[in-house]
Amino acid sequence: MSLSYTVSITEPAAHLIDVTLDIADPVVEGQILRLPNWIPGSYMIRDFSRNIVTIEATSHNEAVSLTKLDKSTWVSPAGLEQLTVRYRVYAWDLSVRAAHVDQQHAFFNGTSIFLSVETHSAQSHKVTFIRPKHDVERNFQLATTLSAFHIDDDGYGQYIAKNYDELIDHPVEQGAFKRLVFTACGISHEIILTGACHFDEERLTADLTRICEYQIRFFGEPAPVERYLFLVMVVDAGYGGLEHRASTALMITRENLPVVGEESVSDKYLDFLGLCSHEYFHTWNVKRIKPARFVPYELNAESYTELLWFFEGMTSYYDDLVLVRAGIIDTERYLGLLSKTLTRVQRGAGRHVQSVTDSSFDAWNKFYKQDENAPNSIVSYYAKGALIALCLDSLMRSDSHQQISLDSLMRKLWHRWQSDYAGVAEQEPQELASLIIGKDLSDFFDTALYTTNDLPLVESLNNLGVDLSWCARISHADVGGTRSQSSLGGRRQPWFGATISDVAGGVKIHQVMRHGPAQRAGLSAGDLIIALNSLSVTKADVENHLVRYADLDCLTVHYFRLGQLFTASLPIEMAPDDTAVLETTDQDKLNAWLHDPRLAHTANDTQVVDG
């Protein structure tokens, strides 16, 4: 084997990873080496090469020079018969996207530490993981879904990847972690938890079993993986996930884990299950079925596609839908989750500025680089994409008398991928949906994807047996719900029109909503409000003052901007009707939507536990 990497950790307190790359047959004209600039699933240039602290090379134990061609590319001298490259990577990014090392654990994605060898990327790659030197008591284990070649009982040793793309798509966790094991449709699954945590382990494994089994059966057995890992980093603050071909890297807080003895599904635990469902669905939708423009991945520069509305939006639609179909939550709880998505999109003025396809295409410099004006200038291809999926599902069901649905489209795409492994063309989901239903859906797609017009949500939900009403929030905490869950519909209250937080000395503004009261008053992100009507304020006080003085035309605001004191007049304006309230109107239609008839036994055999 001409390519081999050795990964070791000798200075964990310095957060360093040592990598040795041996190339038995470098190209004669000079071997080009390159580290990716972004990681699949996270569409922003991250310049991982900035974390390479030192790099040096030898050939047959003689030092040779490496010439740097750009920020992430090096080339060796010509005429070498063998090349060894040694480099150190700084790893202190506590996220699911990069690498993080300390004395307690090591986590990394391959895009952060494995240099690619140009012209050799299609070859097999061997990687050897050395047990960290400071683990003298041998408490550490290593978890990854790379194919093991020769490893010890703790997972240290040699692994094989068929090519470079496979090498970088299997994150690695090392440490004295907790390991839970379960089987879903005959496939071994493991939950690796790093960080102090105490929770109901039996419940978590049971719930994830339901989720995984439903999704495997949804697309059809067998699963496309031989085993699967949930790599969970448990921290005090942080949240997120990133999909991989046979695993997912997750970051949660301890509050996201189920409490021992608690029967209800807490909101925090439900968030975690939804995150797991989302990333697991990506095993099919984006890790295998993927945009043609990602085949192959070009990791040195941006890869533009309009299809993130489909790959993230469809996945965002199904992540919570799976929870009700798998029997984790009931219909009422699911509609509550849906109402939050509806409210989130409705409250963003950016939906009238940016189309969902533009949001996808511009993810690199807009969605992943959001600033204080983001709610006014962009729309989420996750959230709006999920609502497009909802509308498309409703349309397909209605036009086919419940015989064809979005499920049909997803399964068709999966079968198509299995036949040729080709990527999805930019217009293919739209064209295939029309083909399946036997009707030209271009009017729907042209409006939903390429304009900033509002979606036909009221009509779509009505076709699914649900009534959608838009109400005014009565507090900053109102994010929508079902008619029985919601306190909305009561007395309309004033709103501030900005997101704020408590800080020393007052309240800081983070985002100002377009055409809202705060913007009309001339307030901006970064302003420090110290008084309303000459009274000191906290975040709670702002809402309380607005309610108390609702009979006035305006409130006097004292605030600091760039250290200078200013005064403004805040108009008293009632909150807009931008909060979704859902109510069931046709139980038969609702059941047909929320329960997959092909997999009805999955939910029927599962006890619904809800709070």
Strand order in the sheet with 227-235: 178-184, 187-194, 227-235, 247-253, 240-243
Residue 59, domain member (yes or no): yes
CA distance 138 to 314: 44
pLDDT of residue 603: 37
**Whether the Cβ atoms of residue 472 and residue 332 lie closer than 8 Å to each other:** no
29, containing H or E segment: none
Residue 473, domain member (yes or no): no
| Total domain count, the chain | 3
pLDDT band of residue 474 (cuts 50, 70, 90) is: confident
Same domain, 137 and 10: yes
Read off the CATH number of the domain in which 516 is found. 2.30.42.10
Q: What percent of the chain has pLDDT over 90?
A: 93
**C-alpha closest to that of 201 among 286, 129, 260, 113:** 260
Same domain, 246 and 299: yes
Residue 588, domain member (yes or no): no
Check whether 16 has a pLDDT greater than 70: yes
Quote the pTM value. Answer: 0.95
Residue 475, domain member (yes or no): no
Read off the CATH number of the domain in which 137 is found. 2.60.40.3650
| Continuous H helices in 30-146 | 110-113
**112 phi and psi angles, rounded to 5 deg:** -90, -20
pLDDT of residue 515: 94
pLDDT tens for each residue of 569-609: 999 999 999 999 999 999 999 999 998 766 644 433 333 33
Same domain, 268 and 127: no
pLDDT of residue 231: 98
β-pair type (125-129, 3-8): parallel
pLDDT tens for each residue of 504-557: 999 999 999 999 999 999 999 999 999 999 999 999 999 999 999 999 999 999
Same domain, 527 and 378: no
**Joined tokens for residue 110:** 């391959």
Residues in the chain: 611
Cα angle 216, 221, 226 (rounded to 5 degrees) comes to 80
Same domain, 290 and 158: no
Place of tokens 């219909």: 331
pLDDT of residue 419: 96
Burial class (CB in 10 A: 0-12, 13-18, 19+), 138: exposed
**Which residue, of 127, 149, 176, is where some domain finishes?**
176
CA distance 406 to 389: 8
**220 phi and psi angles, rounded to 5 deg:** 110, 130
pLDDT tens for each residue of 433-473: 999 999 999 999 999 999 999 999 999 999 999 999 999 98
Residue 474, domain member (yes or no): no
**Joined tokens for residue 243:** 């999909």
Q: At what angle do helices 442-450 and 428-437 cross, to 10 degrees?
A: 150
pLDDT of residue 85: 98
Gyration radius (Cα) of the chain, Å: 26
| Continuous H helices in 229-362 | 267-281, 308-311, 313-325, 331-346, 356-361
pLDDT of residue 609: 32
Residue 541 lies in domain: 498-573
Burial class (CB in 10 A: 0-12, 13-18, 19+), 299: buried
pLDDT of residue 484: 75
Q: What's the rounded mean pLDDT across residues 352-363?
A: 98
**271 phi and psi angles, rounded to 5 deg:** -60, -45
Q: What's the rounded mean pLDDT across residues 136-149?
A: 97
CA distance 413 to 285: 9
Same domain, 77 and 140: yes
Same domain, 168 and 190: no
pLDDT of residue 562: 97
**Joined tokens for residue 599:** 């997999």
pLDDT of residue 415: 97
Residue 589, domain member (yes or no): no
CA of 174: how far to CAs of 171, 193, 441, in Å? 10, 11, 49
Read off the CATH number of the domain in which 262 is found. 1.10.390.10
Same domain, 87 and 114: yes
Q: What percent of the chain has pLDDT over 70?
A: 96
pLDDT band of residue 488 (cuts 50, 70, 90) is: low
Residue 601 neighbours by CB under 8 Å, 6+ apart: none
CA distance 135 to 138: 5
pLDDT of residue 596: 76
Residue 556, domain member (yes or no): yes
pLDDT of residue 19: 98
Q: What's the rounded mean pLDDT across residues 96-101?
A: 98
Burial string for 33-66 (b: 16+ CB within 10 Å, else e) reads: bbbbbbbbbbbbbbebbebbeebebebeeeeeeb
pLDDT tens for each residue of 249-304: 999 999 999 999 999 999 999 999 999 999 999 999 999 999 999 999 999 999 99
**Which residue, of 176, 210, 240, is where some domain finishes?**
176
- The partner residues of 541 in beta bridges, in order of sequence, read none
pLDDT of residue 400: 94
- The partner residues of 506 in beta bridges, in order of sequence, read 503
Check whether 490 has a pLDDT greater than 90: no
**C-alpha closest to that of 543 among 592, 477, 496:** 496
Same domain, 364 and 391: yes
- The partner residues of 291 in beta bridges, in order of sequence, read 424
**Whether the Cβ atoms of residue 25 and residue 116 lie closer than 8 Å to each other:** no
**513 phi and psi angles, rounded to 5 deg:** -80, 135
Same domain, 384 and 249: yes
DSSP structure class, residue 597: G
Q: For CA atoms 582, 584, 590, 595, give the dihedral sign.
A: positive
pLDDT of residue 608: 30
Q: What's the rounded mean pLDDT across residues 90-103?
A: 98
**97 phi and psi angles, rounded to 5 deg:** -100, -20
**Which residue, of 146, 176, 206, is where some domain finishes?**
176
pLDDT tens for each residue of 31-43: 999 999 999 999 9
Same domain, 155 and 247: no
Residue 492, domain member (yes or no): no
Mean pLDDT score across all residues of the chain: 95
Same domain, 142 and 278: no
CA distance 513 to 47: 32
Q: What's the rounded mean pLDDT across residues 11-21?
A: 98
CA distance 123 to 437: 43
**Joined tokens for residue 63:** 């030092």
